[in-house]
């Protein structure tokens, strides 16, 4: 995985935060960041999300999350910007947001009974400073289900805006036989444990002064 330049936490710790921006239009990430009780605004970053040749899931998620943060930080150099992305991967195949019912069914049939790794990234940038970035993996063992049940799930949930077509915070949890991750929030789209650490490094106090 490529190494991104980053500032030392000690160099960023005394920065006075004037604005916090989430560089994503995802309602799931908005809901997750709201859990921290911090005031923030939203500005979606329009970037090309096409994978580079031979780019694996973790690399793609990390790169896209950082590119989103950098893009918005250029427009708001005094703000602390959070970028994030999620990529699902099964047997070396990268699974993005299906965008359509038939594509969601096809993705879930491909993953049926197998392990899917959801790579969830977060990056924090201020101005030209890359405070840091992390990619948190969540491994999901999918249950074995026939096409009729998978189709029924997709028609009920319509998870066309979720990587891998699995909305785990709702009915999608019924697709999983087991889930393993160091951060239970990562699967929903924004790994809050890593987010808190990076915000603290940027001078944003999440709990108290």
Which residues does the annotation mark as catalytic? 85
Q: Cβ(104)–Cβ(173) under 8 Å?
A: no
**Beta strand spans in the chain (E):** 20-22, 41-42, 80-90, 93-95, 115-126, 129-142, 176-181
Distance in angstroms (rounded) separating the CA atoms of residues 145 and 9: 47
Distance in angstroms (rounded) separating the CA atoms of residues 12 and 96: 34
DSSP code of 168?
A: T
Residue (of 17, 76, 3, 6) closest to 42 by Cα position:
76
Residue 89 Cα distances to 92, 96, 120, angstroms: 6, 9, 11
Residue (of 182, 200, 163) closest to 36 by Cα position:
200
Tokens of 154: 């997709």
Q: Cβ(90)–Cβ(116) under 8 Å?
A: yes
Tokens of 62: 């990390």
Distance in angstroms (rounded) separating the CA atoms of residues 141 and 113: 7
């Amino acid at each position: 995985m490529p190494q991104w330049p980053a500032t030392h936490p000690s160099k960023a710790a005394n920065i006075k935060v004037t604005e916090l921006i989430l560089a994503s239009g995802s309602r799931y990430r908005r809901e997750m960041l709201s859990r921290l009780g911090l005031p923030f605004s939203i500005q979606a970053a329009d970037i090309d999300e096409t994978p580079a040749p031979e780019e694996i899931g973790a690399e793609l998620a990390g790169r896209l999350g950082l590119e989103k943060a950098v893009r918005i930080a250029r427009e708001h150099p005094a703000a602390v910007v959070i970028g994030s992305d999620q990529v699902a991967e099964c047997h070396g195949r990268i699974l993005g947001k299906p965008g359509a019912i038939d594509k969601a069914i096809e993705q879930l049939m491909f993953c049926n009974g197998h392990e899917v790794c959801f790579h969830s990234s977060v990056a924090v940038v201020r101005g030209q400073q890359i405070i840091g970035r992390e990619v948190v993996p969540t491994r999901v063992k999918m249950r074995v289900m026939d096409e009729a049940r998978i189709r029924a799930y997709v028609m009920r949930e319509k998870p066309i805006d979720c990587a891998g077509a699995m909305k785990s915070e709702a009915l999608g949890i019924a697709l999983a036989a087991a889930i393993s991750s160091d951060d239970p929030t990562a699967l929903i789209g924004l790994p809050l444990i890593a987010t808190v650490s990076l915000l603290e490094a940027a001078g944003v106090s999440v709990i108290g002064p």
